[in-house]
Amino acid sequence: MVYKKGIKKDKKLSIKKGKKTVQTLRGMKDVLAKDWFYYDLILNNAKKIFEFYNFQRIETPILEKAELFEKGVGEKTDVIEKEMYILKAKENKELLALRPEGTASIVRSYIEKGMFNLTQPVKFYYFGPFFRHEKPQAGRYRQFYQLGAEMIGGGDVVADAEIILLSKLFLENLGFSKKNIFLLINSIGCPNCRPLYIKELKKYYKKLDKQICSDCRRRIKENPLRVLDCKNEKCSLVKQGAPPILDYLCPECRDHFKALLELLDYLNIPYILDKTLVRGLDYYTKTVFEFCLENETGRISLGGGGRYDELTETIGGIKKPAVGVAFGVERLMQEMVRQGKKFKPTVPKVFLVQIGEAAQKMSFKILEQFRKEKILLGENLGKENLKSQLKIADRLGVKYVLILGQQEVLDGMIILKDMNSGLQELIPWEKIVSEVKKRLKN
Ligand code: AMP
């Protein structure tokens, strides 16, 4: 067992200079105990909130057919065109993708399992790793975790409001203060009204062709709405002057958006209208939103989502309106650390020292007795001598040490040493757990 607190390495080992070692890929990291502390906190918080509102947990495969995301997310999005990891199966040369996002797979599962026959909407939440070959930087990885929620089969504006409300509660329960986080919101219309807007957008960008980046020059031809996603400084001024999509919504989209804003007002959820918010995935219709936070490094997008009323049809032929959200777990974790939420490793208060082969074997039984009573017992069964084991116990700062030697095994006893007073007592095995429990209580 390895405990973080107070443990020093016995001997510092280092890798020989010049020797090549295999390392993690760029933008990917091992999730260690200190990370799981935050990941568990985030997942448990989501469970409490989303399960109360009848969201069921779902985990879809990490590997899916590449066409699922090409069709679902859109071939001309950065996520698919530039960032998706594609693998070719050796046997049948099928193109597979490491999932770059969660929604398309959940919609695939909803259709495949016939969940449209259940009472609608069907609500899901998920937590797992996703993959995008992006340029690694602070808060941007090539493998990252997302915590997301989806409601499929609900076209009413209450579904949008429920997802936004639960997202806000989820962030507040994690300790993000209302003052720090803010909600950006926009509507990007539907296939009926968007073409008219796209026409206007193209007209506007055509005049400013020389002032935008080469990517945007391509985007305006291939997938015009994506120019509003561009993070290039050169393009931001142009973007700000672009016609607002809200002016081009059809009556249905306008009514939906108006009703949503009224509901948010009623629920006391403040928002900022952001006319350039379109989000990077093609499946969105009507509502799009993003939860952000401002700190000394700038604006951070903690998570976002929106409505995707066409996606079930794009993937499987059954039209079911839907809405969802996804949060970046590492982003949340980074901010929790910044705000002072500390990882505290669990350190045992009791340590078991064993000397000799018989005691070493017997230790497994003693450890099980303590585990069943939920008392953490430190050990290092690989060490043989008393001194080195006492040294570990000392570094951990335990209150009691149990010592099991050859003689104690023969007598069915164990030594209980109080590390403060130095006093030692002989206790029968069957009483040791209750004795330790009693003393820890005091
Ligand atoms: P998206 O799936 O693009 O809507 O992103 C939802 C959230 O996932 C973002 O707001 C980020 O918090 C997080 N996210 C997206 N891409 C990455 C990445 N490459 N690394 C870490 N977090 C990410």
Domain boundaries, the chain: 33-193+249-338, 350-441
Q: What is the pLDDT of residue 3?
A: 44
Of 25, 77, 301, the one to substitute when testing ligand 1's pocket (max ligand atoms within 8 A of C-beta) is 301
> Does pLDDT of 231 surpass 90?
no
Range 141-152 average pLDDT: 98
Share of the chain above pLDDT 70, in %: 97
pLDDT band at 368; cut points 50, 70, 90: very high
> Does pLDDT of 123 surpass 90?
yes
Q: What is the pLDDT of residue 8?
A: 47
SS3 351: strand
Residue-wise pLDDT tens digits, 148-160? 999 999 999 999 9
Atom of ligand 1 nearest to the CA of 327: 7
> Does pLDDT of 4 surpass 70?
no
Closest CA to 89 of 109, 61, 105, 65: 65
> Does pLDDT of 10 surpass 60?
no
For ligand 1, is residue 146 a contact (CB within 6 Å)? yes
Class of domain 33-193+249-338: alpha beta
Q: What is the pLDDT of residue 179?
A: 82
Q: Whose CA is nearest to atom 9 of ligand 1?
A: 303
CA quadruple 41, 45, 47, 50: dihedral sign: negative
Question: Whole-prediction pTM value?
Answer: 0.90
For ligand 1, is residue 134 a contact (CB within 6 Å)? yes
pLDDT band at 345; cut points 50, 70, 90: confident
Q: What is the pLDDT of residue 1?
A: 43
Tokens of 249: 């919504």
For ligand 1, is residue 328 a contact (CB within 6 Å)? yes
Q: What is the pLDDT of residue 11?
A: 60
Q: Whose CA is nearest to atom 4 of ligand 1?
A: 304
Q: Whose CA is nearest to atom 13 of ligand 1?
A: 328
SS3 417: strand
Range 11-33 average pLDDT: 86
Q: Whose CA is nearest to atom 17 of ligand 1?
A: 140
For ligand 1, is residue 141 a contact (CB within 6 Å)? yes
SS3 317: coil
How many whole angstroms from 401 Cα to the centroid of ligand 1? 47
Q: Which residue has the tokens 């219709």?
A: 285
**Contact residues for 123 (Cβ-Cβ < 8 A; gap 6+):** 50, 53, 54, 55, 56, 149, 150, 151, 152
Range 364-384 average pLDDT: 95
Domain 350-441 architecture: 3-Layer(aba) Sandwich (3.40)
> Does pLDDT of 379 surpass 60?
yes
For ligand 1, is residue 144 a contact (CB within 6 Å)? yes
Range 125-153 average pLDDT: 96
For ligand 1, is residue 330 a contact (CB within 6 Å)? yes
> Does pLDDT of 99 surpass 70?
yes
Q: What is the pLDDT of residue 296?
A: 84
Q: What is the pLDDT of residue 433?
A: 97
For ligand 1, is residue 148 a contact (CB within 6 Å)? no
Of 79, 331, 335, the one to substitute when testing ligand 1's pocket (max ligand atoms within 8 A of C-beta) is 331
Residue-wise pLDDT tens digits, 259-318? 999 999 999 999 999 999 999 899 999 999 999 999 888 899 999 999 999 999 999 888
For ligand 1, is residue 153 a contact (CB within 6 Å)? no
- For residue 272, give Cα distances in angstroms to 182, 255, 277, 293, 403: 8, 18, 11, 13, 64
Q: How far apart are CA 126 and CA 103, in angstroms?
A: 10
Q: What is the 3-state secondary structure (H, E, C) of 166-187?
A: HHHHHHHHCCCCCCCEEEEEEE
For ligand 1, is residue 140 a contact (CB within 6 Å)? yes
How many whole angstroms from 279 Cα to the centroid of ligand 1? 11
Nearest-Å Rg of the Cα atoms of the chain is: 28
For ligand 1, is residue 132 a contact (CB within 6 Å)? yes
> Does pLDDT of 429 surpass 90?
yes
Atom of ligand 1 nearest to the CA of 141: 20
> Does pLDDT of 9 surpass 90?
no
Packed helices 103-112 and 66-73: angle between N→C axes, nearest 10 degrees: 110
> Does pLDDT of 12 surpass 80?
no
Range 133-159 average pLDDT: 96
How many whole angstroms from 23 Cα to the centroid of ligand 1? 24
Angle at 274 between CA 197 and CA 329, to 5 degrees: 115
> Does pLDDT of 18 surpass 80?
no
Atom of ligand 1 nearest to the CA of 139: 21
For ligand 1, is residue 49 a contact (CB within 6 Å)? no
